[in-house]
Chain A
């Protein structure tokens, strides 16, 4: 029994590499896919950059809070694009009706999830890195000026995005393409609660505990502390990391359970609506 368990749990870097290669071939073969990675973050950053520029020239507080909007939009993009990168790579398998081939192959669910996680970072890098340089060029906002804090922000946001991506992918496996819209929209549910553009104290008192159970809230609060008060608050990052560990484990567990349910309901052979 333990042998069987080991076999089911074994992890092959070669199979992960195979999946990454598959997504890389796909990205390379399609310039609209590449363009899509850059276009939305750029438009978003420019819009918010101009808004930031407008209010910093008209209000004293915002003049002191330099860069919080552009910083928030760039960090939000890490969260949103990270999840989207994970989910779109997964959706590519559904769109191409390849999921049955993968589920029938020796690829383990953990290997599949790992490949999707790595590809979300690759896709994010292709899309977001050029945008961060544009932010420097257009608005003089240097995201890399956040230093080591940026690493903590990035790690926490990516963990959240992978957790949500795993959960949504499981829902699509179980319920078919009818659940596809969730991949595009689920992160917006978090937007008002994670306080991307405003402090948690802005929320009604009864809603604030809800905000504090979401790891990205700590990241955006931490970013504002760094940009406005010039203070890095490591305790916020550690709290976020602890919550993310729970959220990520929950996301992967949900994926595995939904996959199991998909096997029971025969959904893996019917990948339509």
Chain B
């Protein structure tokens, strides 16, 4: 079940994904370092979700290669799925089940040892203890997000994929979730790939940012270097420059 010793947590090599005739991802490559948090930015339809879905093994690449902890995805996914997890707005945990029931089912699926202890621990860490025996569907949006996060962390994943983890949360809850994610990654030395539209979130959490546009990587660097390169004060301004092609026109002018 172990990864190859020198293999990076996530390696994407000339990945292409075409749906019928429409290219969703068009030859992107990147490698993530162990224990890093990387932001994946891009407008709607940029290819972020397809990239994450391919890394998770939910879609098959049209061309190119994706490896996670040394395993070829999706062909060898069962070697590493126990060490990965994800949270996405495209999926939900069953709403009729209580939080504890959901945690029990997913804990068993991931082969978690001392499952009761792990559920109690996540309950404490994610402030869910009082909600454990309530049906998930009766919780507020913020509470549900914390449940999804608990599901994503149930197996102490080494690789965590997050697609808009704080979407539709109030600023206080979103901030709380970010703090928890940062703490988890620091303590566990986990590798995180985070797709988000929230630039504040990316600036706060990520040490590296990959910006996608129309299925391609437009830029890839640390937040500080991106700000310097585009001559901007915030990542949001950088994002707008990339989205509107201002970076290209500035380069052309220079």
A contact residues vs B (CB 8 Å cutoff): 4, 7-8, 10, 12, 14-15, 17-19, 21-22, 25-26, 29-30, 92, 96-108, 260, 263-266, 268-270
Contacts and interface: CB of A to CB of B under 8 A. Distances in A.
Contacts of A264: 59-60
The interface residues of chain B, by DSSP majority, are classed as mixed
Interface string B69-92: 000001110110110111010111
Nearest to A12: B111
Contacts of B92: 96-98
Interface string B174-208: 00000000000000000000000000000000000
Interface stretch (B48-56, B224-232, B235-243): B48-56
Interface in B73-121: 74-76, 78-79, 81-82, 84-86, 88, 90-98, 101, 104-106, 108-111
Contacts of A100: 58, 88, 90-91
Nearest to A268: B58
A105 B59 contact: no
Interface of B: 17, 19, 24, 49-50, 53, 56-60, 74-76, 78-79, 81-82, 84-86, 88, 90-98, 101, 104-106, 108-111, 135, 151
A170 B57 CA distance: 18
Contacts of B53: 266, 268-269
B59 A14 contact: no
Contacts of A15: 108-109, 111
B90 A7 contact: no
Nearest to A93: B94
A98 B101 CA distance: 14
A96 B95 contact: yes
Nearest to A9: B78
Given A22-B105, A26-B94, A29-B97, 11 more contacts: A4-B76, A12-B111, A15-B111, A25-B105, A96-B95, A98-B91, A106-B78, A106-B111, A266-B17, A266-B50, A268-B53
Contacts of B57: 104, 263
A10 B111 CA distance: 14
Contacts of B96: 25-26, 29-30, 96
A96 B98 CA distance: 14
Given A26-B96, A30-B96, A107 B109 contact: yes
B110 A106 contact: yes
A22 B97 contact: yes
A97 B78 CA distance: 22
B33 to A, nearest CB: 23
Contact of B19 (A17, A101, A108, A266): A266
Given A104-B81, A263-B58, A268-B58, A21 B94 contact: no
B135 A18 contact: no
B90 to A, nearest CB: 5
